[in-house]
Homo-oligomer: A and B are copies of this chain.
């Protein structure tokens, strides 16, 4: 059932998710589509970290990391909380981990 069969263009058009949804999905994947952000996310899968530690871990500047964290936070992939002078970042939810693992799985075949 739900076998791929011959269908008209019109039928297909109606089956597709809304333009806006498709756009949002692409936007989501775009966030994951940068190695710096991927590294940050995988790091946060191991531990909560502050900006400076992530920068040291990835051997990158604090500024570069901060810029990327801003993007990740804007996309609700990470959370942050203040702890004294430092900001502690962590993955926003389990879904992010699922996405990362899915990507890893696909690569490792």
Are B13 and A57 within 8 A (Cβ)?
Answer: yes
CA distance A64 to B103 in the complex (A): 26
User: A60 near B: Cβ within 8 Å?
Assistant: no
Structural contact, B57 and A21, CB atoms closer than 8 A: no
- Give the chain B neighbours of A9 by CB distance below 8 A: 53, 56-57
- Across-interface contacts of A12 in B (CB, < 8 A): 43, 46-47, 49, 57
Contact residues in B for A29 (Cβ distance below 8 Å): 29-30, 32-33, 38, 103
How many angstroms between the C-alpha atoms of A58 and B14 in the bound complex?
Answer: 12
B57 touches A24 (CB 8 A): no
Instruction: Using A9-B56, A33-B33 as known contacts, say yes or no to A38 and B16 having CB atoms under 8 A apart.
Output: no
Nearest Cβ distance between residue A78 and chain B, in whole angstroms?
13
- The reply to whether A42 and B17 contact each other, CB–CB distance below 8 Å, is yes
Q: Which residues of A contact B (CB under 8 A)?
A: 4-7, 9, 12-13, 15-17, 21-35, 37-39, 42-43, 46-49, 53, 56-57, 90, 95, 98-100, 102-109
